[in-house]
Chain A
Amino acid sequence: MEIELRLSGGITVVGIRGSVDGLTADDLMRTLSARVSEGAVRLVADCSALDYTSSAGLRSLLGAVKLARQHGGDLRLAAIQPPVLRVLDLSGFTGILKYYPDVETAVVSFAEPA
């Protein structure tokens, strides 16, 4: 898994490439937690190159969402590919987090009233 961070309109965009699973989930959680503790509480996960998530990956994503929301922000997902979306749907995640067709829409969503 590779993680790439960038800023877009004041929002931290986290590009995730590869697989979030039992071997990589801790790295993702550490990266996202560090950003939140630095004050970057509004995040968008760019999932366009994310090709798999296991239960460990789901746990880290949920942990990051909870952490960001506890600090008044949110982690929103963008450009989820169909295999990952099937797992998110099976796990009920699509009902508890916000996701968008592309990064731009996800970034703009933070400007909209909650």
Chain B
Amino acid sequence: MTLGKIATMNSSHRHQRGVAVVIGSGSVKCAAALGLVNVLNRAGIAIDMLVGCSAGCLYATMLASGRSTAEAAEMTKQLWTSTITDQHNRRAWLKAAFPRLFGFDARFGLRDDRLVMERLNAAFGDSRIEAMATPLFLTATDFANGNQAVFSSGRAVDAIRASIAVPFLFSPWPIDGHLYIDGYMSDPLPVGVAMREGAEVIVAMGFDSPYQEHVSNAGRFAFQVSAILSNNLLKSQFAFHGLAHHAEIIPIIPEFKQRIRMFDTEKIPYIIEEGERATEAQIPYLTRLLDAQASEHATAG
């Protein structure tokens, strides 16, 4: 096994059925998933599928493609910097101010997305979701009706771009004639996808959206409203899935003592460390659960 890469099943790993890792939305905090994978690798627990939402899609895709956690951490520093939101989309501002004159439409976003697309293309090129080394599912939200969209095939770059289309910031992204926005708008921690795909054990790493310390401008006001909505949605969706289905969900919620802002990539080592710490606490139970499952399946089979 290559250190840091996702462990694939072989005789030295625990016999298991359907272990999924779900990485919820959470901007740079999603790097904690690299810590999670490090710990699972050390414990010899193979991952059968990855599900990602919003920035979680970046990590799910990097890991599913076979990149090591160290490579993924390094890639993040190149991909996810504040410069991707520095460029204003002047035409969008004009459209917002004078909708009739400049022709307002659903592809509205106040930031120019060319740099983010350039970086996503450089990182993933034409990689296809269905060709990943580990089965991968990326979620976004259908802008027409709010339904969750799950991408299990197609260009990874398109699905990621759709899933990180933060409303107002980046424009909705078209795929096959539909427009999609950020996955967190339908489910910030999409454990339901892993359930539908047959996972019996779901290791779910989720993050609260941070509340604003000071609501000092319209942008911060919008982020505060968004955080309230997404945190409440996270709770209600997680509660529903946890209670309605038989699959075992092991929530892993890293506790960050330092405030992590959207583009704090310099804090990635700390974020990974907290991801490792939170995961290590659950490893004894996870290994007992997988051993019990293996024993049950051996008896049944």
Contact = CB atoms under 8 A, between A and B. Distances in A.
Q: Which 6 A-B residue pairings sit nearest by Cβ, starting from the closest? A: A55-B242, A55-B249, A92-B239, A22-B248, A91-B239, A92-B235
A54 B243 contact: no
Contacts of A62: 243
Nearest to A96: B239
Nearest to A53: B251
A95 to B, nearest CB: 8
Interface of B: 206, 234-236, 238-239, 241-243, 247-251, 253, 255, 281-282, 285, 288-289, 292
Interface of A: 19, 21-23, 52, 54-56, 58-59, 62, 83, 86-87, 89-93
Given A59-B242, A59-B243, A90-B206, A54 B250 contact: yes
B253 A86 contact: yes
A87 B253 contact: yes
A22 B253 CA distance: 19
Given A23-B289, A89-B235, A90-B234, A58 B281 contact: no
Most buried by B among A22, A83, A93: A22
A52 B282 contact: yes
Contacts of A87: 251, 253
A23 B238 contact: no
Contacts of A19: 285
A59 B250 CA distance: 13
B239 A54 contact: no
B285 A90 contact: no
26 contacts: A21-B289, A22-B289, A52-B281, A52-B285, A54-B248, A54-B250, A55-B241, A55-B247, A55-B249, A55-B251, A58-B242, A58-B243, A59-B243, A83-B281, A86-B253, A87-B251, A90-B234, A90-B235, A90-B238, A90-B251, A91-B238, A91-B239, A91-B242, A91-B243, A92-B238, A93-B239
